[in-house]
Amino acid sequence: MAIFNEPLRYSLPEGDKPGVANPLGVFSRPRSETGLKDWLTTVDHKKIGIMYGSAAVFFMLIGGVAALLIRIQLATPNSNFLSADAYNQVYTMHGTIMIFLVVMPIGAAFANFLLPLQIGARDVAFPRINAFSFWCFFLGGLMLNSSWFLGGGADGGWFNYAPNNGVAYSPSHGIDFWNVGLLITGIASLSGAINLITTVLNMRAPGMDLMKMPIFVWMSLVTQFLLLFAIPVITVAQVLLLMDRVFDANFFNVEQGADPLLWQHLFWIFGHPEVYLMILPAFGIVSEVIPTFARKPIFGYPFMVFSGIAIGFMGFGVWAHHMFVSGIGPLSVTAFALSTMFIAVPTGVKILNWVATLWGGKLTLNTAMLFSIGLITQFTVGGLSGVTHAMAPSDTQQTDTYYIVAHFHYVLFGGALFGFMAGFYFWWPKVFGHMLNEKWGKWNFWTMVVGFNLTFGPMHILGLQGMPRRMQTYDDAMGFNLWNFWATVGSFILASGVLLFITNVFLSLYRWNKAGKPNPGPDPWDARTIEWSIQSPAPEHNFDYDPQIVSVDDFWHQKYAEDENGKLRKVAHGADIAQPGNGEGVHLPAPSYWPLLLAASLPLIGYGLIFSLWLTIPGGFLMVVSLYGWALEPADDLDLPHGHDDHKSDHAEIASTVNV
Amino acid sequence: MRRFNVRGGVTLLALTLLAASCADDKPLNTFEPRGKKAQTIYDSMVHIWWIVLVVFILVVGGTIALTIKGRVKPEDYDENDLPAQVHGHKVAELGWTIAPAIFLAAISVPMVNTIWQLEEDNAPGELDVMVIGNQWWWEYRYDIDGDGFFEDADGDGELYGPEGTGDQDDKEWPLNIALDDDDLSVPNQLVIPAGQQVDLTLTSRDVVHSFWIPRLNGKRDTVPGRLTYWSIHADEPGEYNGWCTEFCGLSHARMRMSVVVLPEAEFDQWLAEQSAPSEVPAEGTDERAGYDVFVSQCSRCHVVSNDDQDLQDAYPKDFEADLLNGAAPNLTHFASRSVFAGATYSQYFGIDPDDDNLDTDQYLNLSDIGKFNEADVLAWIKDAPSRKAMFAEGRRGMPSFDTLSDIDLDNLVAYLATLD
Amino acid sequence: MSNTATPSTEHESHDDHAHPTETQYWLVFLLLAVITAFEVLWSYLGFSGPALVVPLIVMMLVKFVIVAGVFMHLWFDMKMLNGKIFTMAFAAGIVVALAVYTTVVATFEFNV
Amino acid sequence: MSDAAVVAEQATDHVEDEHAGHATSLNLSNMKLAMWLFLGSECLLFGALISTYLLSKARFLTEILAGNPVVVDSISNPTLVEEMRAAGSVEPLFDIPFTSLSSFILLMSSLAMVLAHKAISEADYKNLRIWLGTTALLGSFFIAGQIAEFTAFKEEGLSFTGSLLGSAFFTLTGFHGIHVSGGIVMLMTLLVLSFKGKLNQDRAETVELVGLYWHFVDVVWVLIFTIVYLIP
């Protein structure tokens, strides 16, 4: 890695004076190390990761309130708690927020925070683009949610089928907000994907071959490739819709001969890889947590890697199973039913490998581990119900019923979100320097398990009893009363589980402060990967020097070795061999205003498209200024604290001790 | 504080579970097929359920058992006494890669068979019905004159037909579906004969809907600008319910469906009666006054076939090619149906729609066995949007007629009650 | 995908592979121009069906490969260490796009 | 937007590409890898637009042949409709010789671009400026041709809002045109930097990256030219 082996110096081209303070004479360079300004201008992948996570939890509260509103409305038959119009907005926004503003960004939060730490890099490949990605996501999400106050949210479902998404059928601006907001978050995902793929492929520490990377890195890499290829497709679909709604084009105008199935195809070509890119980071997380607390290596590392790649690859070949009843013809149905069946294979491999990792392990059942086991069991339910409707004939009875709602909540909530919870409990000390309370954590876990299964378990039954999705209300005579009532009870238990987590966050912080901020040490879990070989919380510069990677779970192998009898012994404690966190001489990329400003120009243009094209002029102006401001600003600021210190000799010394 | 009574809670839960599993009050239940096609689907899925159940018990049970067995209290954990460091087992891993693949391949064979079997059966049969989705009600067209077509749909001389007939290239869907005097348009309630396969040609006049009668077959979308094909089959007479299952906008939840299955002879009689025009009420009656209100207020959107030239002239047969205007339900035999407003409201009291043993005769002369639901019909006409959300102001859905006087409304309802 | 994470301290130029000379670039351009001319000619010769489409597609692909290979240096990058990563990144996009969109168009074609 | 950001990053940003030029895990430049990933992603974008166009064309043609009055009336030139019906394709709409010239111009700009890159890697700054300028100029000619073509179509009645084919055609070619325009802006920026003496041999990769983008846009046009214009 150049960044370590080279003196950490960013050479400037001739003509540029070092430390140009205000490149366009607009701003002076942001300098603050703390406070709001620091967060707004930071390019540190860890801070950006924290911001991704906090923003996602913030959006999760909005989406969660929407979910509770849905459940209150459906608790009793013929309820008028929400009007048909309000219900359609609430369920559409619930789905959209949970997918695009919660599950995807939490995955991005973990990827941002962990990828550089797990591959032994100092930051991502393009720190400013990283900041730009975050601000695009956050401002796009805010813009999407501003629709609540500006004439109502989108009301076409998260899938937004044509032609119901046209102005004729949805005259409010809700779908325009949906469209533009998600275009902006799409830019975030795409630039983030390019950035993180480059980081993983190109910035690994010495010795870290691809097949020595932690599983989480692998799963995130596959996720980013899925984003790279799926986002452009939804972008095109949304641009077509934008053209139709704002500029009066005819892409979905049936009168002009348009085919509404085009939207369905484009949407699901994106939509199905989307499902996998939401679950794969969680798979990666539990693949780190389970070996750590089973005290065993992951079972079948290569199979875990290749099954992840296979899921990613096959994820692009199954989209039309969302369209089995659209009348695409039996040939297409057959082909997609078969491909859908077989994507169960790599998924099953993963589950069985986790189970095999548990087998014979000495399991420490702390909260992170409990959530991981929760993922295995609940995702299995979701996966198996998936197999039942991969059968196209049964799917004609099950699609668009609550059976499907149950299925994907088992996958995305019982799977992805439980995995993320495991990740929160596991990496919290590395992120914030203190542990989350275990006792509250266990309450949190059990409340969520009970609430989750009580909410979504009955939905299997409701769906098979014939309750369709997206129904504002149902009739007393349909026989759906009982299980809807229990699902609503469950949803409130589930919500209190989420509140317990948030309480735990603040409570743990409070108690930690009160106890005089004890440091949990670099390696509180006796963990396996190299992010635990640096101090907690992770120092701003990550690594003092290049970690030298010899094997998978390299840090674990530094701690354990066989004694003369061939028995594994702990030979070193994590805290003793961890890097001291001395950032002397490390020079980091400087913070910048431009990513934030460039990202801010996009919602401005978006509001312009929705309300008045004149508004796009200031937006466009800000965009051009930001682009040039960004381009002309040196990414580095030599006047920054930390100072620039040429430690060439030190580095040479470290390099010479390396065994490759 | 009162202690929570665990035993009472468990008993309560058990009782509710029992009640839920016993009651046969679920008209949409997918596990109670009542026709050939639904039975095929049911048979193809039920054995998967057993397999899935076994896998579920093995994996979830195994995971929980391993967790309980392997747990070690953190304080008892000895760093120098690690479990066996197994990195993997090639044979096992290959095994659980290949075995599920073979297994899935095996269950795929009957699945593919079923897909094609369900599809091939959609070929033209004895009775063909065209299904047209509208926001938020269904229109059913019967090919009465037996020419095999659903009439000159777009007026260009080319005909739509069931699958395999007619001009299949002519697929642009005209939004002005011309009415044909020879053929029959029935809204909201599909009536079919028992024991006979009915082939459906589906399309939509506005957005994507989905046609679904769970007890008779799975679902199939109706896509504007496209024709899709499906079929249903019912073993026994009775009423079967369904629901539009593709989200279709504001009142999606009130786009419900009702299929009445009659014995064959009665079906023929029903068809003959429906094909006849309705009568114009005699001069001077309340019904006649109601008819006049109908001609002036309702005939812009609603069709009633009779031999009155004034009415024929009052509304155009070809609806304007205006997406928002659409076509409203044909009311010629309004009172012969048991439901209205997208099968959301009952037209008669005294019918238990879930009674499978219902004497099917009553559908021929509903007025004989139930009392016409004047109150709901009146309330509907007076302010339809408050009973079912619609974009009436955007000319999509029924506007409110609260400007009409009470007498006019009463007369109108009286007239509608005569349309049997 | 092999990986060589050698901790190199030297500036390893990625330009150490031989690029074409200016004349060669001109020749390649001439070739492209000739193919384009031939494409237009072919479309005017009155063929229809596969006789028209297949040669046009072939010529299109040839042009595509030449531009990507020579102007975008993929042929030369392939020869450098790990250089095929570039080709793979690009080819992955092309392959996914081709597979997915061909299928989409096919589902519209074979919808009965 | 994101491409603009990526490109902006690469256009003058030295930091990343400075240490990228040094050893990385793959010994490859970060910027160049990112650019190739971005281009891979763009394949999906243009693929979706091209398939949309193909489907829209087929549906439009069906309507024209069936005589759907809404669609027929959307083309204001009735002889054109007759020609399309006679030919059974939308071919009569296009002016192939004119577009061939446009395609040739774009191909030529690719040559100029590659020569510009060659010039900077040989520190030949005079030729660098000449070829950068030529590339930008040829790109502008292409855009001018597009505008002329769009105007001609509009006069014949193939408008963006009028018909399905119009929407699809203008969106596909418009998207490509926006990409070309973005490229021209980048080239002009490079040219200005070069005149200010800030574009030296050690930043040859910046020119190479802009070149990659430019060639990709050219390659997309190679596809569009054949698929949209030549194949009926």
- Name which of C40, C67, C68, C33 is nearest C55 in CA terms: C40
Residue to substitute from D27, D134, D223, interface C, most C β-carbons within 10 A:
D27
Which of A:214-233 have CB within 8 Å of D? 228-233
Write the CB contacts of A86 (distance below 8 Å, at least 6 apart in sequence).
none
| The predicted structure's pLDDT at residue B177 | 45
Helix (H, G, I), strand (E, B) or coil at D51: helix
Interchain CB distance below 8 Å, B245 and A358: no
What residue of D is the nearest CA neighbor of B321? D70
| The predicted structure's pLDDT at residue B393 | 67
Contact B208, B223 (CB under 8 A): yes
Is the pLDDT reported for residue B169 higher than 60? no
| The predicted structure's pLDDT at residue B323 | 31
In a domain, A653, yes or no: no
Q: Determine contact: B220 vs chain A, CB below 8 A.
A: yes
Tell me the C-alpha distance between B146 and B105, whole Å: 45
Give the mean model confidence (pLDDT) for residues A565-580: 88
Q: Is B383 exposed, middle or buried (0-12, 13-18, 19+ CB in 10 A)?
A: middle
- Give the confidence band of A38 by pLDDT, cuts at 50, 70, 90: confident
In a domain, D98, yes or no: yes
| The predicted structure's pLDDT at residue B206 | 85
Q: Which residue has the tokens 């004149």?
A: A614
What residue of A is the nearest CA neighbor of B352? A477
In a domain, D140, yes or no: yes
Q: Which of D14, D162, D167 sits opposite A251 (nearest CB)?
A: D167
- Give the confidence band of B347 by pLDDT, cuts at 50, 70, 90: confident
| The predicted structure's pLDDT at residue D146 | 94
Q: Which of C3, C9, C104 sits opposite A210 (nearest CB)?
A: C3
Contact A224, A193 (CB under 8 A): yes
Is the pLDDT reported for residue B166 higher than 60? no
- A537 preceded by a cis bond (ω within 30 of 0): yes
* Shortest Cα–Cα distance, C24 to chain D (Å): 11
Q: Determine contact: A83 vs chain D, CB below 8 A.
A: no
What residue of D is the nearest CA neighbor of A10? D15
On chain B, the residues whose CB falls within 8 A of the CB of A450 are none
Q: Which residue has the tokens 């008819």?
A: B291
- Condensed to tens digits (0 to 9), the pLDDT of residues A492-550 reads 999 999 999 999 999 999 999 999 999 999 999 999 999 999 999 999 889 988 899 99
| Distance in angstroms between the alpha carbons of the first and the last residue of chain D | 33
Q: List residues in chain A touching C: CB distance below 8 A.
A: 1, 5-6, 201, 204-210, 225, 228-229, 233, 259, 261, 265, 269, 316-317, 320, 327-329, 331-332, 546, 549, 652, 655, 658, 660
- Give the confidence band of D157 by pLDDT, cuts at 50, 70, 90: confident
Interchain CB distance below 8 Å, A269 and C7: no
Tell me the C-alpha distance between A300 and C10, whole Å: 38
On chain C, the residues whose CB falls within 8 A of the CB of D232 are 52
Tell me the C-alpha distance between B29 and B160, whole Å: 34
- Condensed to tens digits (0 to 9), the pLDDT of residues A297-332 reads 999 999 999 999 999 999 999 999 999 999 898 999
Is the pLDDT reported for residue D8 higher than 50? no
Question: In total, how many domains does chain D have?
Answer: 1
* Shortest Cα–Cα distance, A433 to chain B (Å): 21
| The predicted structure's pLDDT at residue A5 | 34
What residue of B is the nearest CA neighbor of D66? B170
Tell me the C-alpha distance between B242 and B235, whole Å: 17
Order of strands across the sheet with B238-243? Answer: B189-193, B256-262, B238-243
Output the CA torsion A635→A639→A641→A643 (10° steps).
Answer: 100
In a domain, D12, yes or no: no
> D126: domain range?
45-230
Count of CB contacts below 8 A, A vs D?
185
Tell me the C-alpha distance between B246 and B240, whole Å: 19
Tell me the C-alpha distance between A146 and A143, whole Å: 5
Residue to substitute from A254, A307, A467, interface B, most B β-carbons within 10 A:
A254
On chain A, the residues whose CB falls within 8 A of the CB of D13 are 630-631, 635
What residue of C is the nearest CA neighbor of A4? C7
Give the mean model confidence (pLDDT) for residues C75-91: 87
What residue of A is the nearest CA neighbor of C90? A229
Q: Which of A628-632, B297-301, B314-318 has the lowest mean pLDDT?
A: B314-318
Interchain CB distance below 8 Å, B70 and A351: no
Residue to substitute from B167, B170, B323, interface D, most D β-carbons within 10 A:
B170
- Tell me the two tokens of residue A343: 């994507």
| The predicted structure's pLDDT at residue D173 | 94
What residue of B is the nearest CA neighbor of D64? B172
Helix (H, G, I), strand (E, B) or coil at A106: helix
- Condensed to tens digits (0 to 9), the pLDDT of residues B24-68 reads 578 899 999 999 999 999 998 888 889 899 999 999 999 999 999
Is the pLDDT reported for residue C29 higher than 60? yes
Give the mean model confidence (pLDDT) for residues D208-221: 95
**Residue A548, domain CATH:** 1.20.210.10
On chain A, the residues whose CB falls within 8 A of the CB of C5 are 204-209, 549
* Shortest Cα–Cα distance, D30 to chain C (Å): 11
**Residue D91, domain CATH:** 1.20.120.80
Q: Which residue has the tokens 């149950």?
A: A406
Written as one letter, the residue type at A578 is: A
On chain A, the residues whose CB falls within 8 A of the CB of D12 are 631-632
In a domain, D71, yes or no: yes
- Give the confidence band of D16 by pLDDT, cuts at 50, 70, 90: very low
Give the mean model confidence (pLDDT) for residues A291-297: 94
Q: Determine contact: B44 vs chain A, CB below 8 A.
A: yes
Interchain CB distance below 8 Å, A229 and C85: no
Q: List residues in chain B touching D: CB distance below 8 A.
A: 156, 158, 169-172, 321
Tell me the C-alpha distance between D133 and B283, whole Å: 89
Residue to substitute from A164, A296, A343, A367, interface B, most B β-carbons within 10 A:
A164
Is the pLDDT reported for residue B163 higher than 70? no
Residue B185 β-bridge partners: B141
Is the pLDDT reported for residue A225 higher than 70? yes
Contact A329, A289 (CB under 8 A): no
Tell me the C-alpha distance between A250 and D165, whole Å: 8
In a domain, D165, yes or no: yes
Q: Determine contact: C13 vs chain A, CB below 8 A.
A: no
Contact C105, D51 (CB under 8 A): yes
Tell me the C-alpha distance between C12 and C4, whole Å: 13
Is the pLDDT reported for residue C10 higher than 60? no
In a domain, D11, yes or no: no
Helix (H, G, I), strand (E, B) or coil at A568: strand
Contact B255, B134 (CB under 8 A): no
Alpha carbons within 13 angstroms on the beta-carbon side of residue B52 total 19
Question: In total, how many domains does chain A have?
Answer: 1
- Give the confidence band of B208 by pLDDT, cuts at 50, 70, 90: very high
- Give the confidence band of B332 by pLDDT, cuts at 50, 70, 90: confident
Give the mean model confidence (pLDDT) for residues C59-83: 89
Give strand ranges (E) for B90-218.
127-134, 137-142, 184-187, 189-193, 197-204, 209-212
Residue to substitute from D41, D90, D188, interface A, most A β-carbons within 10 A:
D41
Q: Which of A225, A269, A332 sits opposite C100 (nearest CB)?
A: A269
Domains of chain B: 286-418 (2.60.40.420)
> A142: domain range?
2-633
Q: Is the alpha carbon torsion for B367, B370, B374, B380 positive or negative?
A: negative
What residue of B is the nearest CA neighbor of D67? B156
On chain D, the residues whose CB falls within 8 A of the CB of C72 are 211-212, 215-216, 219
On chain C, the residues whose CB falls within 8 A of the CB of A210 are 1, 3
Q: Determine contact: A402 vs chain B, CB below 8 A.
A: no
Helix (H, G, I), strand (E, B) or coil at B201: strand
| The predicted structure's pLDDT at residue B254 | 92
| The predicted structure's pLDDT at residue D201 | 86
| The predicted structure's pLDDT at residue A647 | 35
* Shortest Cα–Cα distance, C107 to chain A (Å): 6
On chain D, the residues whose CB falls within 8 A of the CB of A250 are 161-164, 166-167
Alpha carbons within 13 angstroms on the beta-carbon side of residue D60 total 28
**What's B10's DSSP letter?**
H
Q: Which of C9, C100, C111 sits opposite A655 (nearest CB)?
A: C9
In a domain, D64, yes or no: yes
Which of D:62-81 have CB within 8 Å of C? none
On chain A, the residues whose CB falls within 8 A of the CB of C106 are 332
What residue of D is the nearest CA neighbor of C53? D231
Interchain CB distance below 8 Å, B156 and D63: no
| The predicted structure's pLDDT at residue A411 | 96
In a domain, A656, yes or no: no
